[in-house]
DNA sequence: TTGTAAGTTGAATCTCACC
DNA sequence: CGGTGAGATTCAACTTACA
């Protein structure tokens, strides 16, 4: 790592870097990336690449040895690129990997072995999968993604409300129905053949990036292919770094991404949770005279408490914050006093949360 | 292995054997079982308590049998029971295992390491999963099953047509929508508490056994619990062998299975229910690029709103779902955004409902 | 009896700012 | 780094109570 240059400035943003992804990742400054999306190759047909100890004839035992050896080669490869990826991540960074049953179990186990902390596994349910023509198995209608943060105590970005909005106001689930990439989105080469065998749909990356990054975040894809990650990142105002070994793919991806335009800033603002709202102390309502010391608050089933000048409540034996007194009256471990308590105005019962909204509106 | 007695006759069929599953499996004759269904401990590693937003406490799976000190301990356990299971299988035998992201990657990798040949991974999509109460992750709405045969050249049973029939005449896919086990099917103990924390639905086993065994086949479940595998096997005219360590579970299972009657052949025909129109989230149109963030939607009297990246709209001060913003502009309590909003294509105004129809057509 | 409302529950790796 | 306390957070299906 070059200590002369601050990491952020040393990052080659919005570029496609040629070469082997492990080498290239190891040349980049550590702790500099917010999110990694990785769609590694999963062909296990590595037998031809293996160096046998001798030229013995292929028999059943050798077949088993072959299979074991090919898993070992794949596992070594997985271990190396995951370690390089992990080094690049910021402490609160996260990774998505995608695979099928051929490789995803090995990737998932290695993620755990390296200390990544799995947050969800997600099923991409293909609405239009290729049927199983021979009728010997089930239609292979899904692929599996794993979402993991760098370590158990990382605080990965999760835009809960944005994903809920994407899902008609209902909490987003771990199974995503998205069509495979075809039609106009499917990139073709000069011969009209598909430019990449496993091009991922932009809808998939849209959901990943909206849900687990913020605008301006750095997203790295070590198996860039024809650049779906980069294309969607650019649309969504994220910075990307692509790594791709094959020149043909790099060319297609560069052309593709050059044509993309970033969405308006307004369109990129997503729904946020209440957690992101500025915190308001209940005492402020008293200070401002919105509630008076001595005034009575009412709980959901008629419970009564009195407001004190310091912004605490008193109700029977219980005294303390709006939350503590609410919890005490409910014999509950906790209580959100803002939604629990109400007061009377002009004969009507009004939640104290309305007053908090007023203060928040003034703050904007 | 006792060579004096043919293996098949030595098998303790339709019984629940007490004890540790590894020891018991190793005491049974090798090569004698057609199918193994295994639902091992998931190693959930839960820490503190979890409360619902209404402050009720979630009854977590904190049983002693799910505690493992480390990944290494869990992996050793997995290796041993899978090896014992493999020994029991006939050459053309197969195995199903089920798990969550906590353990399924480790099981899948070990299956491959031992020479099992994966045929499919199957996603059990729960129609009614427990939500993520804290809003910190996606709803964990599925579990994963792996279907593997004993070795690459095994010829595992696969009843293609039967599964196709179960699926309204369409080839069965690798994602199965099945509700979690509750209601009358959920077994209770004498106190009215659930008898087992992780009882699997009979519908799941029904599909597994119809699809991958024949009547008369021997099905072994080394983690028998309260005996869903045995109950469904008996209904379907398969022979079962259960292994269960806990006496309480064995008692419940025995009582349960004694009440089961084998189906008439006629009764095996399953009734199919007509599905409602699938719900489409407006956000899907954005993810799929049918509408772009920043694009303008038009209301029936020329009202204008902009699409945001998370599938919400913004129009003046109003922001929210297509329904919410429509209602706000009309000062109405509610509004069907699908019929309210339109967009421009090639100079023509097109209802967004047209796009919803397109997605529904793809889903069929 | 029937319809409606309120209550319960499920394999869960479920907070975070501040002192 | 650990302790403290504010305060944010749920979906579908079934069961029970009651009109």
Residue of B nearest to A175 (CA): B141
- CA A232, CA A237: separation in Å to the nearest integer? 9
pLDDT tens, residue by residue, A118-173: 999 999 999 999 888 888 999 999 999 999 999 999 999 999 999 999 999 999 99
- Residue nearest C10, CA–C1′ metric: B130
- Residue nearest D7, CA–C1′ metric: A336
Could you tell me if A108 and A165 are in contact, meaning their C-beta atoms sit under 8 angstroms apart?
no
Q: Which of B225, B256, B257 lies closest to B238 in space, CA to CA?
A: B257
* pLDDT score recorded for residue A9: 54
**Mean pLDDT in chain B?**
91
Q: Could you list the pLDDT tens digit for every one of the 364 residues in chain A?
A: 333 444 445 899 999 999 999 999 999 999 999 999 999 998 655 444 443 334 444 444 445 555 667 899 999 999 999 999 999 999 999 999 999 999 999 999 999 999 999 999 999 999 999 888 888 999 999 999 999 999 999 999 999 999 999 999 999 999 999 999 998 999 999 999 999 999 999 999 999 999 999 999 999 999 999 999 999 999 999 999 999 999 999 999 999 999 999 999 999 988 888 888 999 999 999 999 999 999 999 999 899 999 999 999 999 999 999 999 999 999 999 999 999 999 999 988 999 999 999 999 888 7
- CA B300, CA B42: separation in Å to the nearest integer? 54
pLDDT tens, residue by residue, B257-284: 999 988 765 555 433 333 456 778 899 8
pLDDT tens, residue by residue, B134-186: 999 999 999 999 999 999 999 999 999 989 878 877 899 999 999 999 999 99
Residues 56-115 in B having a C-beta less than 7 A from any atom of strand C are 56, 58-61, 66, 100-102
Sign of CA dihedral B76, B82, B83, B88: positive
Query: Across the interface, which of A100, A163, A263 has its CB nearest the CB of B292?
Result: A263
Q: Is residue B123's pLDDT more than 60?
A: yes
| pLDDT class of B289 with cuts at 50, 70, 90 | confident
- Cα torsion for A235, A237, A238, A243, to the nearest 10°? 40
As a whole-number percent, the residues of chain A with pLDDT over 90 amount to 80
Q: Which of strand D's nucleotides are less than 7 A from any protein C-beta?
A: 5-15
Q: Straight-line distance from CA A7 to C1' D1, in Å?
A: 27
- CA A85, CA A106: separation in Å to the nearest integer? 16
**In what helix (H) or strand (E) does residue A91 lie, and over which residues does it extend?**
strand A89-99
Mean pLDDT of B183-200: 95
pLDDT tens, residue by residue, B57-88: 999 999 999 999 999 999 999 999 999 999 99
Q: Of residues B105 and B361, which shows the higher confidence score? A: B105
List of residues 6+ apart from A68 with CB closer than 8 A: B113
Q: Do A120 and B113 touch (CB under 8 A)?
A: no
The per-residue DSSP string of B101-145 comes to TTTHHHHHHHHHHTT-EEEEEEEEEESSPPP-TTSSS-B--EEEE
DSSP state of B9: H
Q: Straight-line distance from CA B176 to C1' D8, in Å?
A: 34
Q: Straight-line distance from CA A303 to C1' C5, in Å?
A: 23
Query: Across the interface, which of B102, B120, B138 has its CB nearest the CB of A140?
Result: B120
Query: Across the interface, which of B71, B108, B172 has its CB nearest the CB of A139?
Result: B172
Q: Do A174 and B138 touch (CB under 8 A)?
A: yes
- CA B200, CA B207: separation in Å to the nearest integer? 12
CATH 1.10.520.10 fits domain B15-268: no
Q: Which of strand C's nucleotides are less than 7 A from any protein C-beta?
A: 8-16
- CA B31, CA A169: separation in Å to the nearest integer? 53
Q: Do B139 and A171 touch (CB under 8 A)?
A: yes
């Amino acid at each position: 790592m070059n200590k002369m240059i601050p990491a952020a400035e040393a990052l080659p943003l919005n570029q496609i870097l040629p070469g082997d992804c492990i080498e290239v990742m190891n040349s980049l400054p550590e702790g500099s990336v917010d999110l990694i999306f990785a769609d590694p190759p999963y062909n296990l047909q590595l037998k031809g690449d293996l160096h046998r100890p001798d030229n013995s004839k292929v028999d059943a035992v050798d077949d088993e040895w072959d299979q074991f050896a090919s898993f070992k080669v794949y596992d070594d490869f997985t271990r190396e690129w995951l370690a390089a990826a992990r080094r690049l991540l910021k402490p609160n960074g996260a990774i998505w990997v995608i695979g099928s049953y051929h490789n995803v179990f090995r990737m998932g186990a290695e993620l755990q072995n390296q200390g990544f902390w799995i947050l969800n596994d997600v099923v991409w349910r293909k609405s239009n999968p290729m049927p199983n023509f021979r009728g010997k198995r089930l239609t292979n209608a899904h692929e599996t993604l794993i979402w993991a943060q760098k370590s158990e105590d990382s605080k990965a970005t999760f835009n809960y409300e944005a994903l809920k909005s994407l899902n008609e106001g209902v909490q987003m689930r771990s199974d995503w129905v998205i069509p495979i990439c075809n039609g106009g989105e499917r990139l073709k080469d000069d011969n009209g053949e598909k430019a990449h065998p496993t091009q991922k749909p932009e809808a998939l990356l849209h959901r990943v990036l909206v849900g687990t990054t913020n605008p301006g975040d750095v997203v790295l894809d070590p198996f860039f292919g024809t650049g779906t990650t980069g294309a969607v990142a650019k649309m969504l105002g994220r910075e990307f770094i692509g790594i791709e070994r094959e020149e043909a793919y790099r060319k297609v991806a560069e052309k593709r991404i050059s044509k993309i335009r970033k969405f308006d800033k307004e369109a990129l603002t997503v729904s946020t949770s209440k957690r992101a709202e500025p915190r308001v102390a209940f005492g402020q309502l008293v200070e401002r005279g919105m509630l008076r010391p001595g005034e009575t608050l009412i709980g959901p089933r008629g419970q009564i408490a009195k407001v004190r000048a310091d912004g605490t409540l008193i109700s029977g034996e219980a005294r303390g914050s709006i939350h503590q007194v609410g919890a005490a009256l409910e014999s509950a471990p906790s209580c959100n006093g803002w939604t629990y308590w109400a007061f009377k105005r002009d004969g009507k019962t009004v939640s104290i949360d309305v007053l908090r909204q007023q203060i928040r509106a003034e703050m904007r």
